[in-house]
Structure 1
């Protein structure tokens, strides 16, 4: 009687980002990948070589354990995205694997929360197809969730006062400098290999520099030492996975998604570097299926994010073909569901800002962007790509509390147009603003500043009057005799094609039901962000010749 096991890790982010050092975060990311995935599957390699799974920082890997104890006793159903499903020829072997491997991982990485669930053929309800991978996967995940829910509260005595403790307050594990170096090299090879291969294929090796040191982003001018932490996640991936019912389709779909996302990141970076004619620094912290976390210079982060989202929506013919082949014959899957989209959040912070906090902010912004999918279409999310961002000047931001304070007295004023839709051609549709129009507005404002049609001092006055209400704000424009106010108003109206009632760069909407007007201050996001947008053309040539 065969049995299936599902290998997963809980609290992944807490484990990956428990250190303040980026190189440690990369090693931790590699550890999770190595104990939950098989490199021969997720990385599209035929087998794992001795060097790949040999003696290095990672004492235990899924590949080494299976090769040592279970050769020929299992088959791989799916592996990727930080988890795997294996099929064992016998229930007894599956049970022994769960116990043995759990103990090995716990001994090597005591701070890692590994969960392994098991489903045998007897556990599949009567009348159901015993080979239905959609059902089996659902049962495995349900059992893993029950294991996670039953875990004991994490109130443990980690230190007795005589040990060295790390950034998380837990005892430092005994690792020497050589082990750390080996771990970092191994992490680089595994986590960055596919990205490097793609960059090499499209001629982007000399245009994109992959770094693992946050110090590389520091500038001689402290005011410019900002980074953009990008969190990107695919839309509706769970629904697509649930429609796949065979091991072959699960594995092929996983590989296709990996290919599309790696190509999207590499191609976007290469095209952006070419358009700006400069070397782009990038740090891939996490690239696991449709889950991506990147670090780059703040001034490049927004345009790179938009370019990646566009690439995911329009993958290469080769990648699209692989995706269609993976789902060939799958019932209930419409062709339009293969038009992939994703959402992203970008946290722009100082390079010295706590990295884990920055990642959490970026992921929160990504979730906020995803909410737009449902806000526009009700219960069923639409297929669209949104991006959101936040600029954090310090660990405690006073901007949002202040906005909440003034919003109570000015409930009909709206100070943001974010999140922005990346795949929208028209400047505004049903109250949704496009990133393309926003980027055009930023270039237009820079042009006005260069031609001295508007001054930086006038922009500072706008910032001060934004939250003082419509009367104060409009009076600033009415009393302006320099022509700056008119030039700025004209720029906003030209950018948004006079779509709606615009005045002084504000969109005024009448609420006939309640007899009042709503004010949307478009310039607020622009003035806050303009210093963190690279000068020059915003759109990037997306045609990369291979």
Structure 2
């Protein structure tokens, strides 16, 4: 029998609520910094509890009493031999959080004991390292522990009655000076005060990611609080990393996810390490590599935005993008609405590229790596007005991310019983009104009655509800080489071409279209497109009837791009039978891309900067 150990898991939770429960962009940055502070709190606690602790050299297999597996923004995993010392670590970190970051929920658990040399086996499943098993159990146990105690909001009761924080609505703790004028003295809560105190350090850290000065990033934060007509909350997350992490201990050293030798490793290399040693040694580098790739993809997305940003939308030369979370495979940013989809597509594409090229993750030019060819990710984009409640906007972005993930996983090929998504995708929503932002409610409003042919083909009334047509075709796939039946009409290229068609204009060389239009006019008249949009909500048959009428007049002006993408190449769309709707598969409802394209026009960047007529990129700010 080997050494008896315990996994200690310490995590922050409700991070996005903590960041976005304030209306001040500078305090959003301060909140991000406080979450990032968990790394230092864990390091300090380890130094207190274990004399001469060294994360680089201490290993359980070498007889040490503790080993640090991962220490990142928002979460840490440690293995300890003594349960009491694990409990002491949790107490030290959570007590530090109470003092340094009031309102931030930090919780920890100490898992069940296990033998360091043991392997977990289940019938019908591949054996996995016991360390991986205990880590997974700790993640499942953490929510149960949190549910059994009062949450952070219980710390801020309104007895006795106190004034309200001007930034968060929590009970006021102090008065601060914010701006000039008679209203500059504002009541603020304890969390608000802590976020304000951390904002300078936060700008310093995040400015390095953005490649600009602290002052420039501060100007971006102030700009996004008031200036743009639309702002976007973007959340992105890697696909199926959980199973990859669990499998780390199963792979002999130097092999990839498919069992092949990784870059620089000879086939047949002897691996004398136990599965727990392999898991412990691989987890830290894997997490660091994913973090590195997330930052690199963010940088590439910023560079792309520099090329497509509409004139006059920069902030003294800086991109109107404020990063808030760049941790592991998670990304959360606020940006100007004018480049929301351009940034998202660029980030997801870059994330695929940099993970594929990374020597550890994708194996670089030789292929392989721990992931067997890189990672994919999904994103959600919530586009709102600057003073819309950003906590609700983030919730919407998170649910849109889940929608995209669910779709790419549904069509992912299965390996050893596990679905591995091979596509990156995003869903988005533009919140035009101040009503409810519940994703389920919003999607419900985007369903219309099915067509008569659909009803006739389904005699069962209970099943007819599933035939309701969807007024969106999301999510949109950005993976460049992904051309499968389920992506038909739902690729980024499709969205770009449709949006471009909506704002394409007649130029002098055209000499007008059929002699009916002058240079500079829209090829697809705005009034007609809006009329078609309104008809969509009357149901599928009404929308298709109006579409066929317009197609007879505007077939050669780009309107055919909105027809169902099932017409054979080289054939002209028949105005008598064409439809705005198509089916992804026989058991899914019909979808259409018209509304998506109309919403996307103002979110994709400047066509003049990207060669819109050649590439199909639409104009930003153009109304349709």
Fold conserved between structures, TM > 0.5: yes
Which secondary structure state, in structure 1, belongs to the residue aligned with residue 164 of structure 2? coil
Correspondence 1:398-409 to 2 at 5 A: 400=443, 402-404=445-447, 406=449
Distance in 1 (CA, whole Å) between partners of 2:173 and 2:424 is 42
Check conservation: 2:498, 2:562, Cα contact below 8 A.
yes
**Residue of structure 1 in register with 2:427 after alignment:** 388
Q: Structure 1 length as normaliser, TM-score?
A: 0.77
Stretches of structure 1 lacking an aligned partner (at least 5 in a row): 39-60, 200-204, 327-332, 542-546
Report the alpha carbon displacement of residue 97 of structure 1 after superposing the two structures with TM.
2.8
1:454 aligns with one of 506, 524, 534? 524
CA separation of 1:100 and 1:316: change in aligned 2, threshold 3 A: closer
Correspondence 1:60-459 to 2 at 5 A: 61-67=41-47, 70-73=50-53, 74-88=66-80, 90-119=82-111, 122-124=113-115, 127-128=118-119, 132-152=130-150, 156=154, 158-166=157-165, 168-173=168-173, 182-193=197-208, 195-196=209-210, 199=211, 205=212, 210-211=217-218, 214-217=221-224, 225-245=229-249, 246-276=279-309, 279=314, 280-315=319-354, 320-323=358-361, 337-377=372-412, 380-396=419-435, 400=443, 402-404=445-447, 406=449, 411=467, 413-425=469-481, 429-430=485-486, 432=488, 433-448=490-505, 450=520, 452-459=522-529
**Residue of structure 1 in register with 2:20 after alignment:** 17
Task: Deviation per CA, 1:394-415: give whole Å up to 9, x if none.
Answer: 2216975543464699845332
Check conservation: 2:423, 2:482, Cα contact below 8 A.
no
Distance in 2 (CA, whole Å) between partners of 1:351 and 1:435 is 26
Check conservation: 1:209, 1:281, Cα contact below 8 A.
no
The alignment yields a C-alpha RMSD, in angstroms, of: 4.1
Distance in 1 (CA, whole Å) between partners of 2:344 and 2:226 is 22
Report the alpha carbon displacement of residue 65 of structure 1 after superposing the two structures with TM.
4.1
Distance in 2 (CA, whole Å) between partners of 1:524 and 1:155 is 40
Deviates more, 1:290-299 or 1:100-109: 100-109
**Residue of structure 2 in register with 1:463 after alignment:** 533
CA separation of 1:118 and 1:358: change in aligned 2, threshold 3 A: same
CA separation of 1:475 and 1:315: change in aligned 2, threshold 3 A: same
Check conservation: 1:78, 1:251, Cα contact below 8 A.
yes
Report the alpha carbon displacement of residue 123 of structure 1 after superposing the two structures with TM.
4.1
CA separation of 1:494 and 1:466: change in aligned 2, threshold 3 A: closer
Check conservation: 1:374, 1:382, Cα contact below 8 A.
yes
Distance in 2 (CA, whole Å) between partners of 1:390 and 1:227 is 12
Which secondary structure state, in structure 1, belongs to the residue aligned with residue 354 of structure 2? coil
Stretches of structure 2 lacking an aligned partner (at least 5 in a row): 54-65, 121-127, 178-192, 250-278, 456-466, 507-519, 618-624
Distance in 2 (CA, whole Å) between partners of 1:418 and 1:512 is 14
Distance in 2 (CA, whole Å) between partners of 1:191 and 1:513 is 47
Check conservation: 1:353, 1:394, Cα contact below 8 A.
no
Check conservation: 2:5, 2:80, Cα contact below 8 A.
yes
Task: Deviation per CA, 1:215-247: give whole Å up to 9, x if none.
Answer: 413787xxx610121110100111111122332
**Residue of structure 1 in register with 2:266 after alignment:** none
Check conservation: 1:6, 1:86, Cα contact below 8 A.
yes
Check conservation: 1:9, 1:112, Cα contact below 8 A.
yes
Number of aligned residue pairs: 497
Higher relative contact order structure (alpha carbons within 8 Å, sequence separation ≥ 6): 1
Correspondence 1:502-517 to 2 at 5 A: 506-507=579-580
**Residue of structure 1 in register with 2:605 after alignment:** 534
CA separation of 1:248 and 1:192: change in aligned 2, threshold 3 A: farther
Check conservation: 1:6, 1:116, Cα contact below 8 A.
yes
